[in-house]
Structure 1
Amino acid sequence: MKECVFCQIAKHEAPARIIHEDELVIAVLDIDPISDGHTIIIPKKNIPDIHSLDSDTGKRVMEVAKMLAGAIEKEFSFDGSMIMEVNGVFQDVPHFHLHVFGRNKSNDIKFSYPENTNSDQDNLAKNAKRLTNRMCAKN
């Protein structure tokens, strides 16, 4: 079975514009960037999704994301930055990765919410209880 492209990048077997590399992660420019400096942080070991992410790797991913967000904002004069991770049906590569990209007020990047989000207080209380119980049960 062929390795995923992110495993190949981590082993330097596929081309990539490397921004950062250490023993746990590699950060490379996205080949289809949302904005200048759009970078993907990839664990070197194959971790299919966030549910499989170990604490040490997760901590390192976030440390690198913090450094990258600052570098991207300063280098490309962005007003801020965004961090994005996708699991399941919308995950294009079955290997956990985190996107870090710059944002300006003028960026045409929109995330829309449906009009009816069930934001009444009773529903919010029920959802808070459900999630609290689920987290106490350790999923």
Structure 2
Amino acid sequence: MADCVFCAIIAGDSPADVVLDEPDHLAFLDRRPVFKGHVLLVPRTHVVTLPDLPADLRDGFFEATQRLATAVVEGLGAQGSFVAMNNVVSQSVPHLHCHVVPRTKGDGLRGFFWPRTKYDDGEAVEYAGRLRRALGGDRL
């Protein structure tokens, strides 16, 4: 899809700090993270919402979500994670994406209010590398 920012990232036309690159999906750091290490997982096929996700992509998508939830704990030292996706309402990019956000007790996240932060110079590359290593390698 020509005007989809996630399709542009998948095509390599827009930069991203990639943490997982597999045949059916791609995961990269959110540019405006709730907390540093906040990852977005997207299917490579342009799919707008979860109900649109083809059955043959579903299990792999959620298996990758599980691995990312583990990686934010093992790679970043988080105590847990927040995993979420929006369908149409509050969906800022009309391409299915799953948020995997590292969590620590007392981090200040309450309900569905998502404060945003920014990476300092070089931090995004460092966080992406830590997550790739926790996922089993730094092959990118």
Provide TM-score, normalisation by structure 2: 0.75
Q: Counterpart of 2:59 in structure 1: which amino acid?
A: K
Match of 2:101 in 1: 101
Q: Residue 67 of structure 1: CA displacement?
A: 0.9
Following the alignment from structure 1 to structure 2, what is the Cα–Cα distance between the partners of residues 58 and 30? Answer: 22
Q: Which residue number in structure 2 is paired with residue 31 of structure 1?
A: 31
Bigger Rg, which one: 1
> 1:6 is aligned with what amino acid?
F
The gaps in structure 1 that reach 5 residues or longer are 113-139
Moved over 4 A (4+): none
Q: Displacement, 1:70?
A: 0.9
SS at 1:42 equivalent: strand
Does 1:58 pair with 2:58? yes
1:36·1:76 contact (CA, 8 Å) conserved in 2? Answer: no
**Equivalent residue letter for 2:17:** R
Query: Residue type of the partner of 1:51?
Result: P
**Secondary structure of 2:46 counterpart:** coil
Are the equivalent residues in 1 in contact too, given 2:2–2:8 (CA < 8 A)?
A: no
Give the Å deviation of 1:56: 2.2
1:1-20 matched pairs, under 5 angstroms: 2-20=2-20
Distance (whole Å) between structure 2 residues aligned to residue 2 and residue 71 of structure 1: 32
What residue is the counterpart of 1:43 in the other structure? 43
State the TM-score, normalized to the length of structure 1: 0.76
SS of residue matched to 2:14: coil
In structure 1, distance between residues paired with 2:91 and 2:25:
19
Structure 2 CA distance for aligned equivalents of residues 44 and 68 of structure 1: 17
Q: Secondary structure at the match of 2:89?
A: helix
TM superposition shift of 1:43? 0.5
Q: Matched residues in 2 for 1:60 and 1:39: separation?
A: 17
> Percent of pairs identical after alignment?
30
Measure how far apart 1:108 and its partner are: 0.9
Distance 2:25 2:76 in 1: 23
* 1:69 partnered with 2:37: no
Aligned length, in residue pairs: 112
3-state SS of the aligned residue for 1:62? helix
Q: Deviations over 1:16-67 (max 9, x none)?
A: 0111111100000110111121110011010011110112222111111111
Higher relative contact order, structure no. (Cα contacts within 8 Å, ≥ 6 residues apart):
2
Show structure 2 runs of 5+ residues with no match.
Answer: 113-140
SS in 1 for 2:37: coil
